[in-house]
Structure 1
C-alpha cells in the first residue's frame, strides 16, 4: 500500500520554489538556528500549507482523500477522517453532528472534559450514568449494558449514547451489548476510544469498538501508536450518522491551517499497523505480562487488573495498561509518582490519589520494565508513611440545575469556597490528568465534591479548570432564578 500523502509532501518539500505562502519561516530559512541545529532542516522544509498538490483536509479529493481511505480500510471503518487537534476535536464534532440545543445525550460521569465542551457548544443536555466503582482500589469502571438499557427505557428523548472505552486505566466496556441496546432504540453509539487505537490488531487484545457495533469511534493515534502528538482519527461505520454533517462539524472545531507533519504521521502510523501490527504489539503485551507478574510478587503493591476482573463495570482490561495501587504501602499515588519520576526517571501516564497508570506501547523495551521494577523495589524499601485522609466518593449523583450551556452563558460571580457550597457551579474542575470533571457547570456544588477536591489538592494532585488554582474561591452562577432571560438554551 503506498503512502500518497507522505510521498507528495516529500516531493513538495524538495522542490525549488519561491515561497510567498505561509508559514513565515519559508521552508525553514527563518527558523532559529538552535532549532535547525537540534532538529535538522528537513522537518521545516516539510512544514507546508495546503498547497494544491497536497489536497485540502476539509474538501479532500486527492492525496489526503486516498490516505484517509486507506486508514478506513486498515481500521475497519466505512470512512475515516484525520484529526489535527487530538481526540478532542473528533468528540466535539461528534456531538455537534448528533445533537442540537436541548437534545439529550447519555454519557458516563467519568467522561473526559472534552465531552462537556461538546455539550456547551451544541446545547445538548447530558444525562449522566455513574459507572460501577471498585472503592477498594479507588477506580471507576464503565457503564453496564443494564445501566444503559434502564436509562434509555426511562428517557425516550435521548438522541445518542457515548461510551469511554477503554478508560484511562484500560477498562473496556461491553460495546457489543450496548451497541445492540442503542440500536434497538434507534440511536447511534459513539465511543471515545482515545486510548484504544491499538485494539483489534492482536488476538490477545480486546476487539476494537468499531468491530463491536459502534457507529462512530474517536481514537488518539498518538497515544498508543506511532503518530505525532495531537494526531488522531475519527472512524464511521454504518448509516446512522450523516458523514457530510460530520465533515461540516469537523471544519467548525479544527484549525483551518492543519499541520501536514501531523497528517503525514497519521498515514505512517496506518501503514505501520497494516504491515506489522501483530509483531509490533507482541512486545508491549509480553512486557506488560512480565511487569504484572513481577509487581504482583512485591509486598505492598496491588494490581487491580488481576484482583477485580470479574466485577460489574470491569468486564475486560487492556493488557497493555498497567495500574498499580499503593494504598497498602503507605504511599499516595502522587508521592509515588514524584519519587519514581525524580529519583528513577520512571514516568507514569497518570497519577491519582492511590494509583499510578502506566501505558505500554510500541516503543517500550525490556529495559523500561527492568527500571520500573527496580524503582518500585526501592520505593518499597523507603521509610515512608503518609496519613491519607479517608477516601471520599468522587462520583456522586449530581443535582443538575442548568444545562452546561446555560451555566456557561449565565452571569457569574466569584465567592469563597464555603459560600459556594449549595450554589450552582459555573466552571469545570477536575484533577488532571486524566481531565475527568468532579464539578461541572450547571451542577449544584456539594460539600462532598469540595472535600474531595481539597483532598486531591492536599495530597499533591493538580486541579484543572478552576479560575483560582489555590481553590480558595469558586465561580458560581449568579441569580440562577433569572438566568433564562439572558442566556441561550
Structure 2
C-alpha cells in the first residue's frame, strides 16, 4: 500500500518539519523529543509529541495547520465542518450536547443505549432526558434499536425538545434507521445527534451512504480510533450545514477539552483522513469480502451473521447456538491466541481492521471453527430491562448529597449516579431515577455491588 498520502497531511507536515529541525526543546512535554525516552519503548513518537508553538497551531483556536487539516477532513467526509478531538468520542458527545443546550428547551429525546458520557454531560449541562427504549430485533437476543415511530411519539408527548440523540451502530454493530429518524427530526425542527463512535468506517463503505452524516444527521461523533488506524483517543466531530458554526463548536469542545491536547493523536487523525482518501474505500471493500468469507466458513457450524441492518465488517457471533457462553468462547479464543473486543452471556464481538490480511483471517477462521461445539442453548429475546421512574433531573441528582450503599440496600432510594454495565452498555439506572427492589436485583446480576444514592 502506497504511503504517498503522507504528503497530503498538513498538520503532520508542520510538526514533522519542526521535529526534523532538531531544536533544543525547552517546552512541554517532558520527554523533550528524545526517542530513547522510557527505554526507547515509545520509538519515534516523542519526536512528534509537541505543544502549541509558532507553526504547530492550537486546537481550540485553530487558524494554521490544524485548521487546514480539519478543513481537508470536512471535505473528505462531506461535512460542513469536521473538528478534531484528542479526548475521544467523549469530548465530541459533550460538545454535541453543549451545542443544543444553549436554547430555551431543556429536554433531549434520547435512545436508552446512550453512552455514560452522554448521561454525565446531560447532568453537567442541566438537561432533562426523555428516554426512548430500544425495540427488540425479531429472532435475536441483541438489544435492538429505537424506531422513528417511537421517537416521533416521544417528541409529540413532550411537546418540544432541544434535540434527538441516538447511537448507531451500537456495540454489536446494529444500525438504527438514521434516515427515518432524520426525517422525523426535520418535521419537528430539531437536530439529530448521532453517537457514531463505532461507525467512522461506514464512510468508506457503499459510497458513504451508510454514514449518519449522509443520512441527515446534524451532528455526528466519529470515534476514529475504534475502526481506523488512529491512536487511542482520536475522534472527529462531524457537523452538517445549517445547524452550528465552526466557532460555536470549537467553543463547546474547549469547555470540556484539555488545554494540552495530544499532538500525536491529532497527527494520527490528519494522517488517517489522508490514508482514507487514497485507500479507505478499497481497503474496507477488501475487509468486507474477508468478513463475508469468514461468515461463509462459519455457516456449517450454525453461526450466521446477526439479523437486522448491521455494520458489514463487524463480527458478532451468537455462540449460544453452539452451546457456549460468551465467556467460554472468549476464553477458548484467547487460548488460541485470539483476543476479542468483548462478550456478553451468549455473544462475542470482534473488530477486524483493514490492516488484517488473508493470513490473519485464515488464523481467525481456524480458531473459530475449532470451537468445542455443544448442544445449542435455546435463543431468547433480549432481556426486558426495567424502566425506572425519574424523581429528579440528572443534574439535580449529581449535585445532591449522597452515600454509597450495598446495592441490596439501595431499593427504594434515588440513584445519585448512573450505572451502565458493558455489555450491554444500556444504562440500567440513571442519576435521579428510583431503584426498585427488582432493579437492585438486576444490578447485582450484572455485577454491581454498590451504588451511590441520594441521602
Class of the TM-score when normalised by the shorter of the 2 chains: over 0.9
Deviations 1:154-189 (A, max 9, x none): 112311011111111111122122112112111111
Counting only pairs closer than 5 Å after superposition, residues 333-482 of structure 1 correspond to structure 2 as: 333-341=326-334, 343-381=335-373, 393=383, 395-432=385-422, 435-457=425-447, 471=449, 473-478=450-455
Cα distance in 2 between the residues matched to 1:78 and 1:115: 23
Counting only pairs closer than 5 Å after superposition, residues 281-300 of structure 1 correspond to structure 2 as: 281-299=284-302
Deviation at 1:384, TM superposition (A): 9.4
Distance 1:447 1:67, change over 3 A: same
Cα distance in 2 between the residues matched to 1:392 and 1:174: 19
Whether contact under 8 Å (1:92, 1:115) holds in the other structure is yes
Deviation at 1:114, TM superposition (A): 1.1
Cα distance in 2 between the residues matched to 1:176 and 1:235: 16
Q: CA RMSD in A?
A: 2.4
- 1:9 corresponds to 2:15: yes
Deviation at 1:31, TM superposition (A): 2.1
Deviations 1:283-332 (A, max 9, x none): 21011101211222104x4x352xx33xxxxxx21110111112233322
1:319 counterpart (312, 333, 337): 312
Distance 1:266 1:29, change over 3 A: closer
Deviation at 1:434, TM superposition (A): 6.0
5+ long unaligned stretches in structure 2: 1-6
Whether contact under 8 Å (2:179, 2:215) holds in the other structure is yes
Cα distance in 2 between the residues matched to 1:92 and 1:20: 33
Whether contact under 8 Å (1:103, 1:157) holds in the other structure is no
Whether contact under 8 Å (1:137, 1:354) holds in the other structure is no
- 1:123 corresponds to 2:115: no
Cα distance in 2 between the residues matched to 1:22 and 1:384: 59
* TM, length-normalised to structure 1: 0.86
1:70 counterpart (62, 69, 72): 72
* Residue of structure 2 in register with 1:89 after alignment: 91
Which 4+ runs in 1 deviate beyond 6 A? Answer: 383-386
Find the residue that maps to 1:408 and give its secondary structure.
helix
* Residue of structure 2 in register with 1:143 after alignment: 146
Find the residue that maps to 1:91 and give its secondary structure.
helix
Whether contact under 8 Å (1:102, 1:123) holds in the other structure is no
Cα distance in 2 between the residues matched to 1:475 and 1:175: 35
Deviation at 1:435, TM superposition (A): 4.0
Distance 1:120 1:369, change over 3 A: same
Whether contact under 8 Å (1:415, 1:474) holds in the other structure is yes
Question: Greater shift after overlay, 319-328 or 213-222?
Answer: 319-328
- 1:230 corresponds to 2:233: yes
Distance 1:401 1:392, change over 3 A: farther
Deviations 1:63-122 (A, max 9, x none): 111110000000010111000011110000110110259700011111111110110111
* Residue of structure 1 in register with 2:4 after alignment: none
* Residue of structure 2 in register with 1:162 after alignment: 165
Deviation at 1:255, TM superposition (A): 1.0
Deviations 1:393-443 (A, max 9, x none): 353222111111111111112333222112111222222356432222111
Cα distance in 1 between the residues matched to 2:299 and 2:443: 31
- 1:183 corresponds to 2:160: no
Counting only pairs closer than 5 Å after superposition, residues 200-279 of structure 1 correspond to structure 2 as: 200-203=203-206, 207-279=210-282
Cα distance in 2 between the residues matched to 1:447 and 1:135: 29
Deviations 1:453-478 (A, max 9, x none): 33333xxxxx6xxxxxxx1x322111
Cα distance in 1 between the residues matched to 2:423 and 2:275: 29
Question: Greater shift after overlay, 423-432 or 268-277?
Answer: 423-432
Deviations 1:220-266 (A, max 9, x none): 11111111111010011122234322211100111111111111110
5+ long unaligned stretches in structure 1: 310-315, 458-462, 464-470, 479-489
Cα distance in 2 between the residues matched to 1:385 and 1:102: 50
Cα distance in 2 between the residues matched to 1:207 and 1:30: 44
Higher relative contact order, chain-length normalized (CA < 8 Å, sep 6+): 2
Question: Greater shift after overlay, 265-274 or 409-418?
Answer: 409-418
- 1:194 corresponds to 2:197: yes
* Residue of structure 2 in register with 1:484 after alignment: none
